[in-house]
Amino acid sequence: PSRLYPCAALAPTAVSSREARVGGRSGGPAPTLGAHSSSAGLSPSSGLSAMAIPWMPREISSRLYEKEHELDNVRTTYLMSTAFIGGFLGREDGRRPTWFNRVKLMPVSTLTPDLQEHLANTCHVVCMKTRQEVMSEPTKRGLVPEGRPATGWQAGLLCGRVLWRTLFASAAAKANINKCGSPVLYMAACQSLMVSMRKLLTQVWLEVQLQYTSKISKYRNIKSRPGWSVLEGLQFKNFCEKSGFGLFDPEKTPPSSAGSKPASDLQDYLEEVLALRFAIDLLTLAMKDAEEFIDLQTKRLQRKALPRQRVPGDAVEAELMALKEKSVDSFAMMWTDDAELRGIASLASRLMDGLEGPSAVHFAATFTGQILLAMWKGVQPMLAHHASVGIARIAESHAVIGSLPSPALDDRDADKSQTAVFDRIALSYGPPSRDCKELVMALPRGVLGCIVKVQARFRGTLFRTRNFQRTRAVAAYCKAARWPQLQAPMEGYDDEETADSKKDKRRTKKKPKKVDATKLKEEIEDFKPNVSKYLGGEPSKGGSRDPSSPSATRTKGFGATAGSTMADMNPDRRLWPLPTADHRACADLFALYMYNMYRRRELTNMWATLCGSYERGMDVYAELLSKNPALKPMLDSIAAQLKRGSVVGYDKAFIAKQRKESDSNAPSSRNPASDIFSSSRTKPSKGLGATQESADTQRTIRPGMTPLPKDVGQSGDAAKDDMTGEYLTTYLKEMDGDDSQFKDISASVIPLSTGTSPPRKPPHEYILEAELASQKSDSRPEGMPLTEAEKAARKVKPDVPFCMKRVKPIWLPIKAHRFAAYRAKVLQLLPPRILQQYVDFEKQGQYLACIKLLESATPGSLNVLSPATLVGNKPLLVETVLQLIVGYSGLCLKNNQGNIAVKLITQVIDNMSLALRDLHPGHRTVLEAYLYDTALSIAYYMPNDISLSDRSEAFFQQASERYLRLEHTNRYCKCCLRAAAVLHGQGHLSEAEYYTQQALNKLSDAPVSSLLVVCYHNLAVHTLVQQRLADSVAHVRAYVALLRQLPKLGNTWMQQVDNTQWLILKAQEMWPQYQQQQGMRDSQAGVKFGH
């Protein structure tokens, strides 16, 4: 306990022989409280030491480290910092190898039994209080007042700040130091600990990227289990070797307990990262608290020189005033609104007060480490929760690419965190990029040195800006408190004042100099500034130089006095050379040059990004053009416009055309839209009727509606199913560029896992729970007991008939296309009075009445269920209403109004041929296929509707024929699977298997996708129900093999796949017994029971 603990954290930049002698006394490099470089420790051979505390004035740090009577401050700070490290590292003792016995502190076993008991009780209270605060969200208990913690993270920080400050001040009181220095030493310890924690956070996060990704080894993933020695090595190297805290080498000193976990995992590393982030936030806030205390205490110390205004009347009042002054001036008493927390802090302080003797400060350090250890154990459940949430966000793909996402905090905590972008900072320690190297190599000669100087000046300015306020506060406080002392206290003088300080105070008292206001005003009026010619000033003549200019001092004649000349030329009279206008001009020129270099780099990056984007866009568009040849006319049109723009100018080729189109919407004597929308079946007359028709057409075209080209309708000039460039351009303009209806869909019909879906259950548990839930839903009076026969009947028997009954094919639903956009567009076309009725009918679910109201739309009748009165030459509006009806059908099925959905889709199918008469043939084909497919889907959800079920196969034939004509392979396969599901529900198993096999044949040359998985899954279901077990098992193996090649799919879909696999394998297990019961042989499987 009596060994010397020197510390380089408080040492100045220049080190004398005295410092080398103190550092060599401990037998090696002196420990440091967190220097900024790896060589911050004091070494006799180096002769240099780093300045570890950036905001501490040089004079204060020199006195603390050089003066013999102030070295106790360094020893106390070192002990308290080591105790904090011991509590931090020992928070998981028991699960991982024990750390606290490898910290250079007095062991707990040296305490007396009663002290051990008191310490254990205090630690238990601290742990339970901290755990209660971090695990209960304050916002759930009501509104949180301003200034109080709003989250569990912030509540834990408050507990840590109060306890750490109380323990430091109480333990420092046991040392032979001045109590006025406790706040400054506390801030120094927090600064050193925070710097060390930041270094360790960077190293641990980089180690996470190496241990749990395939960056350096393909055998590493998120399930790797590195040994504890890796993490302990990082902690020892950072805290002991680089920062100088008192730790024993874990490789040489075995732990007292190996822990319950033999190796670490990703959870442990993420908990370490979160603990470091918590510690950095705690130490940062602790420093701010101490700075606020220093500011207030400085003001109190400056007011102490004034005489007291009030004298206590009796002894009781005097004692109360002393207690109040103690509570205000005491650094250990940190105020908080939490009365329980104040009581716990007071308990810890009283526990420290019971320590007496020469080794009290060392026992107090042990007490501090143990109580902080209890605080960290209370915080640990919150860290474990955040780590588990962070692991849930990590996928195998992150490990493959070698970059794991950082564990996220709550938004309110992340906004106030001091380590919000720690992962980016850690990755910034990698080698410089190629662009940076090329930019440096391209710099002219001599510019790199100027850049280094400017960067150094900027970093110095930034450094001063960050620490100037705190430095000034510390300097003012130390001056007011007269700490630390330049000389040891002498006999006959107070501890806070020496004889030299009194002499200096009398010597510095001077009378203020009086200034003549009249003379000063005349000097200001006669002053003539010397402006450089580089900034627009006139060059000064040889004999007319202003005596106040900087250059006038060199041309003064013999009339100038020697005293004034020496005063002006003496460099000691000013701190730096006076800057001239020439200096300012050079500085502006250099700043302009640096700004141009920055612009050059940014423009280079922009050009590289544009070139890369252009190349990628061309590749994507070429692939899109190969998949959809209908886009070639649109490409030719764009190419023609670009060619014309290169000849006549792009402003004339594009902007003028847009203005012309906008002007065409304005009313004029001749309406060009009348010719565009005229039908080829009826030719307009030249008389009065033509004028009236033109006026009606002009009135129906609303501003913002793009007219369709001339090839709309059955007699268009385009081919039967080919979309012309002009028609497709108009369609894309109306649909905001959405042409997904004219393209085939992706084969990824099952969504990927997002981590938000419910977890997957074991198949047998899921099936049995569903079976029991269906049995409990019968109409049985409550409280009526079950008979033995009913209990036996309700018992689930997973036999072959049970498995055949439970397997179901996967249903791929069809989605409404842009339902919200289409609905909003239709509502804009209704008058206000009709609009209110329309919305009311929608709320009541009377969608047929809504469609009936569309007859009163502004452009004309849009009731597609009555094509006789349907407005002509409005193909896009007709498609909008049809898409709206499809969305209404889905809402009816969702709201258990299946009969309304059947009526809607039946009337649409029956009137579709006339309603779509004005559409382009290719557009009409796409829409007809979509409507027939929708009718087939409604037939699946309404199996009891006989008329719709009878027409389901016709719906499939019509939809599939159009999909094949459009070459939409994936849409055709989905339609086949839907038809097979409908036939399966109707009992036509052979036909269902045939259509599923047709879809599989179409995908024979396609890459692996979830659509293939659905095909094999449904084939397994169809063949099992037909009692062809061998084929069913083969199909199960096929889709299981495909799933291993795909990324993780959604849990909701994977649950049905798992259930089917379990049922089929269960049927295979009991198949021999089933054959024996049914009396059939293997050759009879598939033909019995009419299959």
Per residue in 610-662, pLDDT (tens digit) is 998 888 888 888 888 888 877 777 777 777 777 767 666 666 555 544 444 44
* Mean pLDDT of the region 569-581: 51
Q: Who has greater pLDDT, 671 or 506?
A: 506
Residue 422 is predicted with a pLDDT of: 93
Residue range 495-534, pLDDT digits in tens: 444 445 555 555 555 556 666 777 777 777 777 767 666 5
Residue range 479-498, pLDDT digits in tens: 999 999 988 876 655 544 44
Q: Who has greater pLDDT, 785 or 357?
A: 357
Q: Who has greater pLDDT, 978 or 455?
A: 978
Alpha helices in 916-1050 (DSSP H): 921-941, 946-950, 952-966, 969-986, 989-1002, 1010-1025, 1029-1044
In this predicted structure, the answer to whether residue 845 has a pLDDT above a threshold of 50 is yes
* Mean pLDDT of the region 1010-1026: 90
Residue 306 is predicted with a pLDDT of: 46
* Contact in structure between 757 and 751 (CB atoms under 8 Å): no
Report the alpha-carbon distance of residue 1012 to residue 502 in Å, rounded: 94
Give the pLDDT band (50/70/90) at residue 678: very low
Residue 552 is predicted with a pLDDT of: 42
* Mean pLDDT of the region 182-194: 95
Read off the tokens for 256.
């007292």
Choose the weakest-confidence range: 380-384, 519-523, 573-577.
573-577
Residue range 140-160, pLDDT digits in tens: 666 677 778 989 999 999 999
Q: Who has greater pLDDT, 459 or 286?
A: 286
Give the pLDDT band (50/70/90) at residue 207: very high
The backbone region for 446, taken as left when phi is positive above 0, alpha when psi lies in -120 to 50, beta otherwise, is left
The backbone region for 906, taken as left when phi is positive above 0, alpha when psi lies in -120 to 50, beta otherwise, is alpha
Residue 924 is predicted with a pLDDT of: 85
String of DSSP letters for 576-617: SPPP-HHHHHHHHHHHHHHHHHHHHHHHHHHHHHHHHHHHHH
Q: Which residues contact 914 (CB under 8 A, 6 or more apart)?
A: 867, 868, 870
Residue range 84-117, pLDDT digits in tens: 999 999 998 888 999 999 999 999 999 999 999 9
Residue 163 CA neighbour count, 13 Å, CB half: 33
In this predicted structure, the answer to whether residue 309 has a pLDDT above a threshold of 60 is no
Choose the weakest-confidence range: 193-202, 298-307, 656-665.
656-665
In this predicted structure, the answer to whether residue 754 has a pLDDT above a threshold of 90 is no
Read off the tokens for 211.
């241990």
* Mean pLDDT of the region 296-314: 70
In this predicted structure, the answer to whether residue 257 has a pLDDT above a threshold of 60 is yes
In this predicted structure, the answer to whether residue 1011 has a pLDDT above a threshold of 80 is yes
In this predicted structure, the answer to whether residue 1069 has a pLDDT above a threshold of 70 is yes
In this predicted structure, the answer to whether residue 28 has a pLDDT above a threshold of 80 is no
Report the alpha-carbon distance of residue 744 to residue 964 in Å, rounded: 11
Q: Tell me the sheet residues that pair with 1049.
A: 752
Report the alpha-carbon distance of residue 1052 to residue 751 in Å, rounded: 10
Give the pLDDT band (50/70/90) at residue 593: confident
String of DSSP letters for 17-49: HHHHHHHHTTTSSBP-S--SSTT-SB-TTT-B-
Report the alpha-carbon distance of residue 740 to residue 732 in Å, rounded: 10
In this predicted structure, the answer to whether residue 862 has a pLDDT above a threshold of 60 is yes
Calculate the CA dihedral of residues 20, 25, 28, 33 and round it to 10 degrees. -80
Report the alpha-carbon distance of residue 223 to residue 266 in Å, rounded: 7
Residue 670 is predicted with a pLDDT of: 38
Residue range 805-830, pLDDT digits in tens: 888 899 888 877 778 878 888 888 88
- Three-state secondary-structure class, residue 453: helix
Tell me what the pLDDT averaged over the chain comes to. Answer: 77
Residue 478 is predicted with a pLDDT of: 94
In this predicted structure, the answer to whether residue 794 has a pLDDT above a threshold of 70 is no
Choose the weakest-confidence range: 380-384, 868-872, 1014-1018.
868-872
Q: Who has greater pLDDT, 1082 or 590?
A: 590
* Beta carbons within 10 angstroms of residue 928's beta carbon: 20
In this predicted structure, the answer to whether residue 778 has a pLDDT above a threshold of 70 is no
Q: Is the peptide bond before 29 cis (omega within 30 degrees of 0)?
A: no
* Contact in structure between 812 and 971 (CB atoms under 8 Å): no
Give the pLDDT band (50/70/90) at residue 585: confident
- Three-state secondary-structure class, residue 247: strand
In this predicted structure, the answer to whether residue 253 has a pLDDT above a threshold of 80 is yes
Residue 829 is predicted with a pLDDT of: 84
In this predicted structure, the answer to whether residue 392 has a pLDDT above a threshold of 90 is yes
In this predicted structure, the answer to whether residue 776 has a pLDDT above a threshold of 70 is no
Residue range 258-273, pLDDT digits in tens: 889 999 999 999 999 9
Percent of the chain residues topping a pLDDT of 90: 29
Residue 549 is predicted with a pLDDT of: 42
Q: Tell me the sheet residues that pair with 30.
A: 42
Q: Who has greater pLDDT, 559 or 1002?
A: 1002
Residue range 695-745, pLDDT digits in tens: 343 333 333 333 444 343 443 433 455 555 666 777 777 776 677 777 888
* Contact in structure between 630 and 723 (CB atoms under 8 Å): yes
In this predicted structure, the answer to whether residue 224 has a pLDDT above a threshold of 90 is yes
In this predicted structure, the answer to whether residue 447 has a pLDDT above a threshold of 70 is yes
CA dihedral over 99, 163, 153, 473, signed as positive or negative: negative
Percent of the chain residues topping a pLDDT of 70: 74
In this predicted structure, the answer to whether residue 463 has a pLDDT above a threshold of 70 is yes
Query: Which H or E run includes 618?
Result: helix 581-627
Amino acid at 390: G
